[in-house]
Amino acid sequence: MCGIVGYIGTRVAQPLLLEGLKRLEYRGYDSAGMATVDAGRLSLTRAVGRVQNLEDRLGELGGFGGTVGLAHTRWATHGGVTEANAHPHRDGSGRIAVVHNGIIENYTVIRQYLEEKGHTFKSETDTEVLAVLIGELFDPEGGVDLESAVRAALREVTGAYAIAVICAAEPDTLVAARKGSPLMVGVGSGEYVVASDPAAIIAHTTQAFPVDDYHVVKLTRDGLRTSNLDNVEVTPKIMQLELDLEQIDLGQFQHYMLKEIYEQPRAIRLCCRGRIDAREGKVVLGGLAQYAKELVKSRRVILTAQGTALHSAMIGEYLLEDLAKIPAEVEYGSEFRYRNPIIEDGSVVIAISQSGETADTLAALMEAKERGALALGVINAVGSTIARETDAGVYLRVGPEIGVASTKAFTGQVAVLTMIALFMARRRFMAPDACARLMGELEQTPDKMERILEQDDAIRTLTEKYVERENWLFLGRGYNFPTALEGALKLKEISYIHAEGMPVVFIANKGPQYDKVMNNIEEVRSRGGHVIAVATEGDKDIGRVAEDVMWIPDTPDPLSPMLAVLPLQLMAYHAAVLRGHDVDKPRNLAKSVTVE
Ligand code: F6R
């Protein structure tokens, strides 16, 4: 969704805010804006398009002074992509500026109320309604300062928000608050950075705390005060951010997506480190230790997720049934929440999410939790909302994923689900040596991934051959049915190619469905289809039926999706670049969908 950055301290805010926005641009890139307070005056500007356009606009204006300010990069939800709809939004008096991530659900009622009081609106957004409401309640002479006005306004709204607010009449204050949308406060010395993501904080401090739901934080250069909506003071839990700048810099790569594809061998090593003991045939998942018994005795596992994470959930379903012999099913978070799902005793729900902020996945988890299920998470973003709402879980440890198209999170999710399945399998029916064998193979997966990445140039050349085709079909069976869906999703997301026609990409690894897939290939060929295959090294037959082959090393079938997806990721990446698209900022796609 959108990205928020706020700053209060002793340094000039503008460069810090711009740098923070660039780090958050992956969250939304329709439009951007900034406001600062300098010498009791509020300066505000906005621009449609990328953060660069905002920077150019600021250059034309001679730049903003001030050591308190806020900025926003928008992903439109209410109102089209126009300058008027971009954030920050001002109240009627022009003294207060607000940036907001989320959706104020009752904004039409509040807008009507404010219009009856004589207020007019310049945008179609829910955020402007909130800004005007705060302005209406702000009454310094009457003892209602900015913090109190924000609190009073938030008591009136329903929906989701992460907000930051500044005011020309209170030049030494920045107020932030949250319900449902992510927001963090970085604590520096004599300064604070507020952001929707630690990526915008880490350059300035490693000390930070997540703002909790219904909490309001008042920041001044002398300190901070956190309270709930009833104005009861609460103590924030400051933590150390486990993130370094190198992880979020592009380095030698042209795009985050390619960097993250290449990071997969290392990411999977980190993900599995200390968690598998192949010699002993043991899986050690510290995050689940407390609930091991409940998990092993569970009668049904529901995996819930969206998008790419849903594809890894589908692989998780196969793994749990195949290895742990436990009934498992996959549920779109967006559907589960609106059904009347039946949760029997002994049900476990596993929410899978890279960001840990996907609204639909979160809602599904809460629904299952309320109905008595044990709520587990397979999450990448540490301390994210879903991670905090689960009873227990396993972090991916693959590092921050910035490219909008999910890559290393997918293989990380599959690796974690494999470990969870083995953890349960070993305690249920699986023989220790069978378990140990698979673990040994899992340990080999990063080396095998490295071998696949060596084919990058060859995959680029192959993609060039087909890049002008408007329709592609991805086919795979068994464990690689979800991999085929993921390959198609990757291509669609960043190349805008309709991935359901021809050429046909088959995942034809040497698994139990190999013969069936070979038959399917013959059928496609007999209808004139161009076959590109992902095949197992050493397969002598595939060259006879496929025009082009991308190779993966041999591996047990349950582990094959983690390898088979890599050529598909590279292919999607090259197709997008060859078509001249901005891979890290695909149109109409946001990295994290924090609204329904
Ligand atoms: C695909 C993609 C999206 C996400 C989906 C879930 O490349 O990025 O489909 O997978 O929005 O996001 P998370 O995993 O953050 O819950």
The residue ranges of every structural domain in the chain are 3-246, 250-454, 503-578
Prior bond of 88 cis (ω within 30°): yes
- Whether residue 306 has its Cβ less than 6 Å from ligand 1: yes
What is the Å distance from ligand 1's center to 14 Cα?
A: 31
- How far is it, in rounded angstroms, from Cα 549 to Cα 346? 45
- Mind listing the pLDDT tens digit for each residue in 55-80? 999 999 999 999 999 999 988 766 77
CATH fold match for the domains 3-246 and 250-454: no
Partners of 234 in beta bridges: 226
The length of the chain is 596
SS3 content of the chain, % helix, strand, coil (to 5): 40, 25, 35
- Mind listing the pLDDT tens digit for each residue in 355-403? 999 989 999 999 999 999 999 999 999 888 899 999 999 999 999 999 9
Contact 296, 289 (CB under 8 A): no
What is the Å distance from ligand 1's center to 356 Cα?
A: 10
What is the Å distance from ligand 1's center to 221 Cα?
A: 37
- Mind listing the pLDDT tens digit for each residue in 193-240? 999 989 899 999 999 999 999 999 999 999 999 999 999 999 999 999
Share of the chain above pLDDT 90, in %: 76
* Out of 267-276, 441-450, 481-490, 511-520, least confident range: 511-520
- Whether residue 524 has its Cβ less than 6 Å from ligand 1: no
Which pLDDT belongs to residue 500? 55
Which pLDDT belongs to residue 501? 44
- How far is it, in rounded angstroms, from Cα 190 to Cα 188? 6
List active site positions. Answer: 2, 591
Which pLDDT belongs to residue 332? 93
- Whether residue 586 has its Cβ less than 6 Å from ligand 1: no
- Whether residue 380 has its Cβ less than 6 Å from ligand 1: no
Q: Which of 315, 355, 382, 406 to mutate to test the pocket of ligand 1 (most atoms within 8 A of CB)?
A: 406
- Whether residue 405 has its Cβ less than 6 Å from ligand 1: yes
Which pLDDT belongs to residue 409? 98
Partners of 178 in beta bridges: 162, 215
Share of the chain above pLDDT 70, in %: 97
Confidence of residue 81 (pLDDT cuts 50, 70, 90): confident
CATH of span 250-454: 3.40.50.10490
Which pLDDT belongs to residue 304? 97
CA dihedral of 15, 20, 25, 27, whole degrees rounded to 10: -150
Nearest CA to ligand 1 atom 4: 307
pTM: 0.84
What is the Å distance from ligand 1's center to 202 Cα?
A: 23
CATH of span 503-578: 3.40.50
- Whether residue 570 has its Cβ less than 6 Å from ligand 1: no
Ligand 1 atom at minimal distance to the Cα of residue 381: 15
- pLDDT (average), residues 330-337: 90
- Mind listing the pLDDT tens digit for each residue in 120-151? 999 988 999 999 999 999 999 999 999 999 99
* Residue 507 amino acid letter: I
What is the Å distance from ligand 1's center to 360 Cα?
A: 11
Confidence of residue 30 (pLDDT cuts 50, 70, 90): confident
- Whether residue 353 has its Cβ less than 6 Å from ligand 1: yes
Indicate whether 588 pLDDT > 80.
no
What is the Å distance from ligand 1's center to 308 Cα?
A: 5
- Whether residue 593 has its Cβ less than 6 Å from ligand 1: yes
Tokens linked to 357: 């902020």
Q: Which of 315, 593, 595, 596 to mutate to test the pocket of ligand 1 (most atoms within 8 A of CB)?
A: 593
Partners of 392 in beta bridges: 376
* Out of 295-304, 337-346, 359-368, 434-443, least confident range: 337-346
Any idea which architecture 3-246 has in CATH? Answer: 4-Layer Sandwich (3.60)
Q: What's 47's DSSP letter? A: E
Q: Which of 308, 331, 401, 565 to mutate to test the pocket of ligand 1 (most atoms within 8 A of CB)?
A: 308
| Tally of CB atoms within 10 A around 193 | 28
Confidence of residue 502 (pLDDT cuts 50, 70, 90): low
- Whether residue 384 has its Cβ less than 6 Å from ligand 1: no
Indicate whether 187 pLDDT > 50.
yes
